[in-house]
């Protein structure tokens, strides 16, 4: 039997066709990305331009995409219509910052124990920790409320901040995966030099884990900044409201008094101010944020 072998010259290549196909694929890819980007940006743009309108422009059909005239004073008037400066102080210094510190510190310590220290039952307890992520907050909401009521913690930020100092399963998982990427030889060298586990954690592991810690801190801060259900359950005093409760109080004020002008623009103005800090934080920290996300799952 004679086998027929094609010579290299018999195989025809079409580099021009391949270049055209590659350019069309790239063009299609960028078109899809642009469309998706517009779909994400459009709600924020509508919120911003709605804050610059009055009632007559808000309810105009077809909608007005560029307000004329633009009422920039809506931002100030909406902010001073409620004590939002007090709400901002409560959100940042009484809730978000303590919650973020507790989450990062506790999650890092627990993740270090699950990743760098060998002890019996470590993996089983880690899987049990992950299993708690499947329990929704609505299941534990009433029992936790009863417990904190017995402690006398209602109308304070203790029910919101204290649990953060015991770690969060999702952040424990993220940091554990990142800690596993750090070579064990570094810890062994520190052991030889006489360092203990605390020294290794705070002087070696944590400084090498800045991208992952930044991601955890950013996520924790955003969770506290946007939290509505937690403060709604535990805080009743208006002087202790956070920003999310302040927006709801502003909406309720307009609902009870339907004669108030510019109710919708005021709500959009306050919402824009509240969203802006998170956008700024992500814009300046996106490099470390993306680096931490991409490196967390590498083993």
Secondary structure of residue 194 in the 3-state scheme: coil
Q: What is the CA angle 224-229-233, rounded to 5?
A: 115
Q: How far apart (Å, rounded) are the C-alpha atoms in residues 47 and 40?
A: 12
The pLDDT tens digits for 59-69 are 888 888 888 88
Q: How far apart (Å, rounded) are the C-alpha atoms in residues 4 and 254?
A: 85
Provide the Cα torsion 6, 8, 9, 10; round to 10°. 30
Q: What pLDDT, on the 0 to 100 scale, is given for residue 256? A: 65
Q: Up-side HSE of residue 186: CA atoms within 13 Å toward CB?
A: 15
pTM for the model stands at 0.83
Q: How far apart (Å, rounded) are the C-alpha atoms in residues 100 and 220?
A: 5
Q: How far apart (Å, rounded) are the C-alpha atoms in residues 78 and 271?
A: 10
The pLDDT tens digits for 120-157 are 888 899 999 999 989 888 899 999 999 999 999 999 99
Which one has a higher pLDDT value, 299 or 29?
A: 29
Q: What pLDDT, on the 0 to 100 scale, is given for residue 298? A: 46
Q: What pLDDT, on the 0 to 100 scale, is given for residue 295? A: 57
Q: Up-side HSE of residue 50: CA atoms within 13 Å toward CB?
A: 21
CB 74 within 8 A of CB 51: yes
Q: Up-side HSE of residue 213: CA atoms within 13 Å toward CB?
A: 17
Q: What pLDDT, on the 0 to 100 scale, is given for residue 260? A: 61
Secondary structure of residue 68 in the 3-state scheme: coil
**The two structure tokens encoding residue 182:** 């750090």
Q: What pLDDT, on the 0 to 100 scale, is given for residue 291? A: 63
By C-alpha distance, which of 119, 141, 217 is closest to 174? Answer: 217
Q: How far apart (Å, rounded) are the C-alpha atoms in residues 160 and 28?
A: 47
The pLDDT tens digits for 234-278 are 999 989 999 999 999 888 877 666 556 678 889 999 999 999 988
Q: What pLDDT, on the 0 to 100 scale, is given for residue 153? A: 93
Question: Quick one: three-class SS letters along 229-264?
Answer: HHHHHHCCCHHHCCHHHHHHHHHHHHHHCCCCCCHH
Least confident of 13-22, 39-48, 142-151, 289-298: 289-298
The pLDDT tens digits for 221-246 are 999 999 999 999 999 998 999 999 99
The pLDDT tens digits for 91-112 are 999 999 999 999 999 999 999 9
């Amino acid at each position: 039997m004679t086998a027929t072998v094609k010579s290299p010259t018999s195989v025809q290549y079409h580099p021009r066709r391949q270049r055209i196909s590659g350019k069309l694929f790239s063009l299609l890819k960028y078109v899809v990305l642009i469309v998706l980007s517009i779909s994400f940006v459009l709600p924020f743009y509508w919120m911003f331009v709605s804050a610059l309108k009055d009632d007559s422009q808000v309810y105009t059909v077809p909608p007005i995409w560029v307000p004329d005239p633009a009422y920039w004073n809506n931002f100030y008037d909406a902010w001073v219509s409620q004590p939002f400066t007090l709400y901002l102080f409560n959100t940042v210094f009484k809730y978000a910052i303590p919650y973020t510190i507790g989450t990062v510190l506790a999650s890092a310590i627990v993740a270090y124990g699950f990743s760098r220290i060998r002890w019996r039952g470590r993996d089983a307890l880690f899987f049990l920790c992950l299993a708690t992520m499947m329990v929704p907050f609505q299941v534990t909401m009433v029992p936790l409320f009863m417990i904190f009521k017995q402690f006398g913690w209602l109308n304070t930020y203790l029910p919101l901040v204290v649990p953060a100092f015991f770690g969060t399963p999702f952040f424990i998982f993220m940091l554990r995966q990142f800690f596993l990427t750090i070579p064990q030889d570094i810890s062994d060298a520190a052991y030889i030099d006489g360092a203990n586990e605390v020294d290794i954690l705070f002087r070696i592991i944590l400084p090498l884990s800045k991208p992952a810690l930044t991601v955890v801190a950013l996520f924790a801060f955003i969770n506290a900044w946007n939290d509505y259900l937690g403060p709604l359950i535990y805080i009743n005093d208006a002087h202790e409201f956070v920003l999310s409760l302040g927006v709801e109080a502003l909406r309720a004020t307009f609902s009870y008094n339907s004669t108030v002008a510019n109710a919708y623009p005021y709500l959009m103005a306050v919402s824009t101010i509240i969203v802006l800090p998170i956008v700024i934080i992500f814009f300046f920290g996106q490099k470390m944020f993306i680096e931490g996300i991409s490196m967390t799952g590498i083993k």
